[in-house]
Amino acid sequence: MLDQRLVRDKPDAIAQELGRRGKAVDLTRLQLIAQQQRSLEEKRSNLQADGNRIGKEVGQRIKAGADPKSDDIAELRKQGNVIKQKVAVLEDEEKQLNAELKDQLLNFPNLPSAECPDGKDESDNIELRRWGTPRTEDGLEEHWQIADRLNLFDTERSVRIAQSRFVTLIGQGARLERGLINFMLDLHTSKGYREVLPPVLVNTASLTGSGQLPKFADESFRCAEDDLWLTPTAEVPVTSLHRDEIIPADQLPLRYAAYSPCFRREAGSYGRDTRGLIRLHQFNKVELYWFTHPDHSAEAHQQITADAEAVLQALELPYRVLDLCTGDLGFSAQRTYDLEVWLPGAGAYREISSCSVCGDFQARRSSIRTKEGKNTRLVHTLNGSGLAVGRTMAAVLENGQQPDGTIQLPKALVPYVGMEQLKPE
């Protein structure tokens, strides 16, 4: 969430930065609300100071021998009661303005960092580097064709169980998925991440704190009779691990690796990636998440990206890294590096991880701070897929296909799957 002090004092700067994201905004009304809120806060504070002064004076006079029932004491108490009534009225008015201001601010995305390249859409993203040599032979199959031939998952029966855009992994497919999850978690925990297995159901406060609500309500699955939602990403519950907390500065950074099933409606994506594992309503993901000191978030962004890249390198999967432009940033991000893995059957790079630094945006929404001496500051948060498991499976299948129809697994994955190749069963 944006800092309301900036709305009050520097609305033009906010409008300019949101303009970099392609959003034209008029902050006149919000600025007025913020100014009114600040004015009420000052009036209330001054009145409370007067009330405290009167209360102190009453105590001092009685201590000095004044009759507690005297007219002077009664008059002072009357003045104190009048002040209390005025303070109560101001508190109500201030609470209403705060609620209106917060409701409005929750709909504004994060401001892009100064280093984030300007641009309108994904065509303006900047490629930073590539790793590995992409396979480009003719006749390579796409992953869903391989899966169909090797009987790795079933979509038709999944429609019977649920609806379209769900899959049931079978045999070697289920074993490969499980192996990928364990491999990713072991790799990240070996680098110092603390493993987390969070709830799959999350409440509204958790989704709001991480930035999914109110913006992405239509893309989330909700339990109608409870204040619970199916989590769209482990980023949501991990953000709320420390909601409303003060984290001592000497404990930062906190680094978590969380496995979770994820659920998304994929609103607006119908007709796209209808086959295979790329765009599903339910998928598995290992998420990397950092709570870091605000002075070190830039270095943390480089490290979390490198940690996600390490998975692709260990699995021998060619990929490229993109610096997303302002017009392609996610709602909560200040800056994002996308990792795109090469799918030789499709002949294209596809996103497999977004590594984002969010600054204090999520921390302000979730009230997560750090303390140095007597001073408190909002922490900075970062997140990145490490990796999306289904898309990783797709890449392993397409990059490992052999002339005899088998799939050669990456050496690092063999101990986790218990076989070197996938073969027709």
Q: Mark out the alpha helices in 106-134 (DSSP H runs).
A: none
- Residue 386: which residues within 8 A CB-CB, separation 6 or more? 184, 188, 257, 286, 287, 288, 307, 308, 311, 353
Q: Among 263, 201, 271, which Cα is nearest to 237's?
A: 201
Contacts 24+ apart (CB under 8 A), 218-227: 218/265, 218/267, 219/264, 219/265, 219/266, 219/267, 220/263, 220/264, 220/265, 221/263, 221/264, 221/265, 221/281, 226/201, 227/203
| Token representation of residue 274 | 């209808």
Q: Residue 369: what residue type?
A: R
Q: Are 401 and 143 in contact (CB under 8 A)?
A: no
| Token representation of residue 148 | 């169909």
Residue in 245, 351, 377, 420 annotated catalytic: 351
**Quick check: is 94 catalytic?**
no
Q: Among 335, 329, 322, 353, which Cα is nearest to 120's?
A: 329
Residue in 240, 354, 356, 385 annotated catalytic: 354
**Quick check: is 354 catalytic?**
yes
Q: Among 148, 156, 146, 158, which Cα is nearest to 343's?
A: 146
Contacts 24+ apart (CB under 8 A), 192-196: 192/255, 193/255, 193/256, 193/257, 193/288, 193/307, 194/254, 194/255, 194/256, 194/257, 195/256, 195/257, 195/258, 195/259, 196/234, 196/238, 196/241, 196/256, 196/257, 196/258
Radius of gyration (C-alpha) of the chain in whole angstroms: 27
Question: Alpha-carbon distance 402 to 409, whole Å?
Answer: 10
**What is residue 114's DSSP assignment?**
T
Question: Alpha-carbon distance 139 to 197, whole Å?
Answer: 41
- Residue 47: which residues within 8 A CB-CB, separation 6 or more? 83, 86, 87, 90
**Quick check: is 206 catalytic?**
no
**Quick check: is 391 catalytic?**
yes
Query: Which helix or strand (DSSP H or E) is residue 422 part of?
Result: strand 421-422
Residue in 44, 264, 365, 369 annotated catalytic: 264
How many Cβ atoms sit within 10 Å of the Cβ of residue 369?
18
Report, as residue numbers or ranges, the catalytic residues.
264, 279, 351, 354, 391
